[in-house]
Structure 1
């Protein structure tokens, strides 16, 4: 949405017609590169999958053996598995592509005499680009206006120091890939996309590959172990069968049946799907995840380090009160009717601000000046010298001059910055300190304002060398966000501690913290005090203190690293250039989508589009939900694979009457049922009611804990007992092999359905989880029951699968055994609930 431009330079920018003409001539502002055919790449990856290889081998054996029907079925299964895999891959890639679009840098341009915010790819040659502190520059151009403007060009030059630039210097060009470290400039775009200096060099962030996360590594290692075990057992079974029958193809087919039952190929698919779709779900909530690994980490956050301005407060600065030194009076601006001295103080503070303001306080000062209904002098003056924000405490000074040679030297900054360099007596200093303290206790941000009368052009090197005339104090109010108390309380309930890290002073921060019910507001430490602590004192301090004031980049970084050294999983919010190091160092760097600089967004792993900290509560809840649901899915996979493996292996190893109860067509059918169950049903499961009242899981926690793995193994073994009991029951009743196979298969399907329902929670019983909103549960189960019914009662299908129609009692028995082999875990849940 275009917003009115505060444009003292009188630049009108391109018209819509000129923008379209430029885009037609020069194209879009994107770095084009050779793109891989994602569809062919996905097919190639599918053909590398062990399960697909086994299916291809088994299908070929059937064709060679003359069993054309079975061969066609397995060939069809390969196509179906490929389609499912391609669909899942497509969903994941689409989610990631949408995230890339949302995380693309934005920029401000002047068009049609107004300021517009747009995506960087929409820039065109000839645009007038507004660059502010923290802006990531995405095109080449030359400066036509600037204030205290410097850029970091390390990506091009390797030089870490910032370079000051303006239109009068020989090097008045800015380049894509660099970023603004201070000030403001308006730049006319000359090159975009591949024609930029960066584009010609050919550097691209896409060449950077991400390392695997701990969870991804654990899952990958588990799957590799299963593949290795499957290969060993496959060879053993092949040798045993061949020794007994001397039939190479038949023995190979039976060994392949077992190998297929062992491979847990659903696990890596589930992991990728859960992470990608989780990021997509977060995006729908207004949370852009730049790295998928962040989804995994979210549920582990133990500490939220948050800025005050714009995160806890509205970042809507309004000039609330002023104190004029000459009159010794405090004026609330709501009262109106300003005196000349009060108007002069506001005017002077405006001159001490940037001509084109971008800081909320400076915008408020320009607005207050406009509201005074006096002659607007801004267009008559131009800035002839400036001193950037510097010093400790910080201050900034601007020198303006009009056509008649009248000079205004105005300065503003932290009140204490002026105490030693102005004309104040000791008594006046103490008096001012008391007023500053009063303003701060009311939650105001306070600045001192000073003036210097100076003739000539020989300005001192440092602004502190001026002997200022201290004029007074200006106090801004930035109210707390309406929902912030509830947000903070939500973090506390989730077992997450909250720490405020701000550049503001102790009193103002404490006042705001007290208003919102912040725990630990009584104790705080400043950046200067923190830097004096040794490592052990620092680690103790960051754990015991919740408010950190007068912070600067080095101090912020020390806090993050100290928390990490105490095994905390740290989430850090930030918006400025100086927040970059801390955002990168945190486990979860969080940038604000609206007030955040592009550099903060580049450094962060997560962006809150609406600058609303409550979204972090949603993000952490989503992270916990995804992790829990992924764990449910993988525990389900382990539990259901065990009975398939043992039902195939035990009759063969022990030489039972029907040693080859299942063939590859039965195994692949079971796999086709299990895949959608774990990837579709469990991914769509809602968050359990107790999720956000639990403590965060330690990041070092192994995904497959002994207790959880034991639960899955026991579940799998009890289902195995059910299938083998059914097998023996059929033998005792002299049932034929086809009938025995049908009953064992039906028990497995029934157990699979009940396991899906039971494992929707490992704490709450099925009476609770049945109320969870997940329409896919009923859909997938209905499809499963329908397909199995067709196999059992449609004669051509029954014959093809070597099944036999079951009577009502047999069906009831199979369902009962499947139910009994799973439902026992509900008793465990009841016991767990009663003992907690």
Structure 2
């Protein structure tokens, strides 16, 4: 049991020795906290997260639905209507006022629900993309959600991590952190666990790490002293105001379209009001009020004021759908850009391959050993080949070859920071997969972890860096106590430059120029087998007088070369199909890797990324001026042995060639390239916290196929937005044209008020509002749930400059609006006495028929709106939500025609079956005429000599 924890002032922890802080926090540097103790502290102190801004109360969100100017006008109109009813008492109830208020309230409720669902979707995504922390609990390393870190936890830090909480350093191996966001200091800070005396500023507390800062170099261990709002970042967060909500370019464009349409319709409404008042000689307050109500209702019905909310809801639902396909979207703007992606620049390891490195071969001076088995389970047969022979010879492992292989795998095992773990029979690696493969290979060769730990105790480390391409560890040797063993692993070509001798059996021999060439040739041979190669080397230093100041890059000289280790990360089976799908969609896959160019080319050919096997290296890129690199990226799809700065140059060169680039990355230094790319994609499993923060999308499974799936979903989301935009505008323009031409042609179609005096309208204000609610709600949202078209990945990417509403869309919208208005007015004329078609109905009957026909026109238009090219009958039943929405709207229309209280509210009368059949027949004309126009369009654009396909 740890001692009872006493409160430790987090700000003073840097002035206390590590042991004092550990004691005060009741922890253990080796075992950490127990699960029970951590759970108790989490309940007491709360989660390790910044206090969210105070949520907006539900009643305020509901009131916000009534802030629109047109809605306010409707509320004023309802108030005036109620006042007139109280004055005149011409009916049992103020039906018009009740109808207006009911529709306004229902619209507000729909908007409130849409907003709530969008917020829930965003919250769910935030939970899925929560940061992780590595801690020691119950004596074991484990990864937990950063929000579960508590005071007293022992946290492990390495390059690429984001520090999850404030902590006092216990160990540091060349640890550096970037604290620019906290202190304003642009250069990384070196960290050291030594106690500091006296009061110093935050930026000078070298023995502390702070929440939210990034580890840029080295590794370390710390004990958590403060979490949540008690951290330095938390104190700053408490003083910050909430940032404005993110709006995507698509939402901004749709808002602009909405404002433009709103202005246009309001002008039309004003013209109609003025025309009616002047032409019909409107007199009296009630009549004048009816005209004003009509104008406001028409404006509300025609303006898609809820469009941004619908877009947000559809984006949120689509993003959730992408998350189910392992692509977690952090920025909504990425969804729009995905449809335009023309290049996917992907890392190889873990994305195109399985990220389960397996050592296949160890090559030493005396021959080659092959290891069987796959993955991280330490089981596999070991066979050998003597130098210059073919065929397996297991007996050969008893001589120099066995000693050399054991030495090579010992170096590989010890020069790692990964941990091999078993949980319910499943072997996993905590740390780098390459290092994990070395540990597994050592176990297959019979090198037990316990024996190696007992003999070699680590006393120092020279961490790996992408510039040196090497890593070294220093150990005492229980069998040679007078020596310090230096174990180094890294890129073979770099490592050979640091070696002067080679291990053979128990002895060493000088490393000649000819032998160096032989080793490099062997390395190329392994690479041609698609094996990733590492070189391992060692050195013995005298232990006498050795100290911490002797640990540095200078120990990586005069090394003894031990051998080459070849490992393979097998390509994902689904990656080959995903590459082919991307190519069919007009997207060029590009591989950018740190691996050997030959290995990269082999994997690239196997996956279908390239056919010629050409690969450009980072060294070649360094020699290229920008203009030459811009020419190179047009043809080359494999880049090997690259550094992060090369990735940035490649991305910029592709963008200058007008490519829309989706770029993957996982390291700290990948952050600039991820931010520069049009779509930054971070790895969710192997990626660092810094890379995830810089990215637009996080892959939950680090799989290239998930990127292609995300592109498909992105295209589907954008297509769905166009679908309901096409639908809303077609329906609303049809309503506006019906009202405008109905008033303009009133005398021609026989539209007159009862008794022949006053004026009459094709539809009443309440009926227009009802159409707006019934047709613009559920059907529009259901269109946003349309599944991706099978043809979504068979056409080139959408040009970025292409607007959300194209000329072709506007033509279709105008066509549908015209057919809708003409058909509706035809029904109105046929129901009224006089006019072009003689009828015998009353005005109430004619308005009910017109009302019903216009609703049915909108419901048929839903199916037209799914495509400007494909037939409405293509995939007719693929979206059951759409059918449900249409049936709901139809039932509501039946209710408003037959239920007595709704008849009074909306001035409708009951219709006969023949009336419904007539309304259906006329309304269906928009479907058949649009089908005909699509057929003609496909025929005109079909390749010469081919007919338009009959199935679309």
1:514 offset after TM fit, Å?
Answer: 2.2
Worse overlay, 612-621 or 430-439: 612-621
Q: Aligned partners of 1:295, 1:355: CA distance in 2, in Å?
A: 36
Worse overlay, 394-403 or 521-530: 394-403
Q: Aligned partners of 1:174, 1:494: CA distance in 2, in Å?
A: 47
Q: In the superposition, relative to structure 1, how do residues 604 and 391 fare at CA in structure 2: closer, same or farther (>3 Å)? A: closer
Q: Aligned partners of 1:332, 1:206: CA distance in 2, in Å?
A: 61
Show the counterpart of 1:52.
71
Q: In the superposition, relative to structure 1, how do residues 767 and 261 fare at CA in structure 2: closer, same or farther (>3 Å)? A: closer
Residue by residue, what CA displacement relative to the aligned partner does 1:286-314 show, whole Å, maximum 9, x if unpaired? 32111122222222211111101111122
Q: Aligned partners of 2:29, 2:75: CA distance in 1, in Å?
A: 71
Q: Aligned partners of 1:607, 1:669: CA distance in 2, in Å?
A: 43
Q: In the superposition, relative to structure 1, how do residues 482 and 254 fare at CA in structure 2: closer, same or farther (>3 Å)? A: closer
1:141 offset after TM fit, Å?
Answer: 0.9
Paired residues of 1:637 and 1:678 also in contact (CA < 8 A): no
Aligned-pair RMSD on alpha carbons?
Answer: 2.4
Are 1:369 and 2:388 matched, yes or no?
A: no
Q: Aligned partners of 2:894, 2:59: CA distance in 1, in Å?
A: 37
Which of 208, 226, 229 is equivalent to 1:194?
229
Q: In the superposition, relative to structure 1, how do residues 763 and 250 fare at CA in structure 2: closer, same or farther (>3 Å)? A: closer
Show the counterpart of 1:344.
407
Residue by residue, what CA displacement relative to the aligned partner does 1:45-78 show, whole Å, maximum 9, x if unpaired? 3112244223212212211221711101211112
Paired residues of 1:273 and 1:679 also in contact (CA < 8 A): no
Show the counterpart of 1:4.
none
Paired residues of 2:410 and 2:447 also in contact (CA < 8 A): no
Which of 694, 697, 709 is equivalent to 1:606?
697
Which of 813, 821, 825 is equivalent to 2:918?
813
1:586 offset after TM fit, Å?
Answer: 1.4
Paired residues of 1:106 and 1:119 also in contact (CA < 8 A): yes
Q: Aligned partners of 1:626, 1:563: CA distance in 2, in Å?
A: 26
Show the counterpart of 1:293.
333
Q: In the superposition, relative to structure 1, how do residues 362 and 250 fare at CA in structure 2: closer, same or farther (>3 Å)? A: closer
| 3-state SS of paired residue (1:189) | strand
Show the counterpart of 1:108.
134
Are 1:161 and 2:187 matched, yes or no?
A: yes
Are 1:797 and 2:902 matched, yes or no?
A: yes
Which of 716, 725, 737 is equivalent to 1:646?
737
Show the counterpart of 2:18.
none
1:461 offset after TM fit, Å?
Answer: 5.7
Q: In the superposition, relative to structure 1, how do residues 204 and 346 fare at CA in structure 2: closer, same or farther (>3 Å)? A: farther
Q: In the superposition, relative to structure 1, how do residues 770 and 24 fare at CA in structure 2: closer, same or farther (>3 Å)? A: closer
Worse overlay, 776-785 or 170-179: 776-785
Are 1:765 and 2:803 matched, yes or no?
A: no
Q: Pairwise mapping of residues 304-343 of structure 1 onto structure 2 (< 5 A)?
A: 304-325=344-365, 327=366, 329-334=367-372, 335-336=382-383, 337=397, 339-343=402-406
Residue by residue, what CA displacement relative to the aligned partner does 1:86-118 show, whole Å, maximum 9, x if unpaired? 111111110011111111101121112222222
Paired residues of 2:413 and 2:439 also in contact (CA < 8 A): yes
Are 1:181 and 2:252 matched, yes or no?
A: no
Q: Aligned partners of 1:693, 1:342: CA distance in 2, in Å?
A: 51
Are 1:252 and 2:292 matched, yes or no?
A: yes
Show the counterpart of 1:353.
416
Paired residues of 1:22 and 1:126 also in contact (CA < 8 A): no
1:818 offset after TM fit, Å?
Answer: 1.0
1:720 offset after TM fit, Å?
Answer: 0.8
Q: Aligned partners of 1:19, 1:418: CA distance in 2, in Å?
A: 44
Which of 470, 473, 476 is equivalent to 1:401?
476
1:800 offset after TM fit, Å?
Answer: 3.7
Which of 139, 149, 174 is equivalent to 1:123?
149
Show the counterpart of 1:79.
105
1:279 offset after TM fit, Å?
Answer: 1.1
1:351 offset after TM fit, Å?
Answer: 3.4
Q: Aligned partners of 1:384, 1:814: CA distance in 2, in Å?
A: 88
| 3-state SS of paired residue (1:688) | coil
1:126 offset after TM fit, Å?
Answer: 0.9
Which of 310, 313, 327 is equivalent to 1:270?
310
Paired residues of 1:260 and 1:664 also in contact (CA < 8 A): no
Which of 509, 524, 530 is equivalent to 1:437?
524
Paired residues of 1:409 and 1:451 also in contact (CA < 8 A): yes
Show the counterpart of 1:3.
none
1:140 offset after TM fit, Å?
Answer: 0.8
Which of 817, 839, 855 is equivalent to 1:733?
839
Paired residues of 2:593 and 2:641 also in contact (CA < 8 A): yes
Q: Aligned partners of 1:317, 1:595: CA distance in 2, in Å?
A: 13
Q: Aligned partners of 1:182, 1:824: CA distance in 2, in Å?
A: 67
1:828 offset after TM fit, Å?
Answer: 2.6
Q: In the superposition, relative to structure 1, how do residues 723 and 820 fare at CA in structure 2: closer, same or farther (>3 Å)? A: same
Q: Normalising by the residue count of structure 1, what TM-score does the alignment of the two structures yield?
A: 0.94
Paired residues of 2:269 and 2:295 also in contact (CA < 8 A): yes
Q: In the superposition, relative to structure 1, how do residues 359 and 806 fare at CA in structure 2: closer, same or farther (>3 Å)? A: closer
Show the counterpart of 1:229.
264
| 3-state SS of paired residue (1:660) | coil
| 3-state SS of paired residue (1:47) | coil
Q: Aligned partners of 2:303, 2:462: CA distance in 1, in Å?
A: 68
Which of 499, 504, 523 is equivalent to 2:614?
523
1:833 offset after TM fit, Å?
Answer: 4.6
Q: Aligned partners of 1:429, 1:476: CA distance in 2, in Å?
A: 21
Worse overlay, 118-127 or 800-809: 800-809
Worse overlay, 180-189 or 166-175: 166-175
Worse overlay, 79-88 or 380-389: 380-389
Q: Aligned partners of 1:758, 1:291: CA distance in 2, in Å?
A: 32
Worse overlay, 206-215 or 716-725: 206-215
1:644 offset after TM fit, Å?
Answer: 0.8
Paired residues of 2:774 and 2:892 also in contact (CA < 8 A): no
Show the counterpart of 2:201.
none
1:16 offset after TM fit, Å?
Answer: 2.0
Are 1:714 and 2:812 matched, yes or no?
A: no
Q: In the superposition, relative to structure 1, how do residues 38 and 152 fare at CA in structure 2: closer, same or farther (>3 Å)? A: same
Q: Aligned partners of 2:53, 2:913: CA distance in 1, in Å?
A: 62
Residue by residue, what CA displacement relative to the aligned partner does 1:636-691 show, whole Å, maximum 9, x if unpaired? 11111112112222233445333422222101110111122443320121222211
Q: In the superposition, relative to structure 1, how do residues 206 and 470 fare at CA in structure 2: closer, same or farther (>3 Å)? A: farther
Q: Aligned partners of 1:204, 1:405: CA distance in 2, in Å?
A: 58
Are 1:755 and 2:871 matched, yes or no?
A: no
- Mark the structure with the bigger radius of gyration: 2
Paired residues of 1:132 and 1:184 also in contact (CA < 8 A): yes
Paired residues of 1:58 and 1:664 also in contact (CA < 8 A): no
Q: In the superposition, relative to structure 1, how do residues 25 and 733 fare at CA in structure 2: closer, same or farther (>3 Å)? A: closer
1:333 offset after TM fit, Å?
Answer: 3.1
Q: 5+ residue gaps in structure 1?
A: 1-8
Q: Pairwise mapping of residues 452-601 of structure 1 onto structure 2 (< 5 A)?
A: 452-455=539-542, 456-457=545-546, 459=550, 462-463=553-554, 466-520=557-611, 522-601=613-692
Q: Aligned partners of 2:812, 2:540: CA distance in 1, in Å?
A: 81
Q: Aligned partners of 1:476, 1:513: CA distance in 2, in Å?
A: 17
Q: Aligned partners of 1:584, 1:205: CA distance in 2, in Å?
A: 24
Q: 5+ residue gaps in structure 2?
A: 1-27, 86-90, 197-205, 373-381, 384-396, 420-429, 501-510, 753-759, 833-837, 943-947
| 3-state SS of paired residue (1:499) | strand
Show the counterpart of 1:26.
45
1:239 offset after TM fit, Å?
Answer: 3.6
Q: Aligned partners of 1:270, 1:635: CA distance in 2, in Å?
A: 13
Show the counterpart of 2:515.
428
Q: Aligned partners of 2:195, 2:597: CA distance in 1, in Å?
A: 42
Q: Aligned partners of 2:582, 2:773: CA distance in 1, in Å?
A: 41
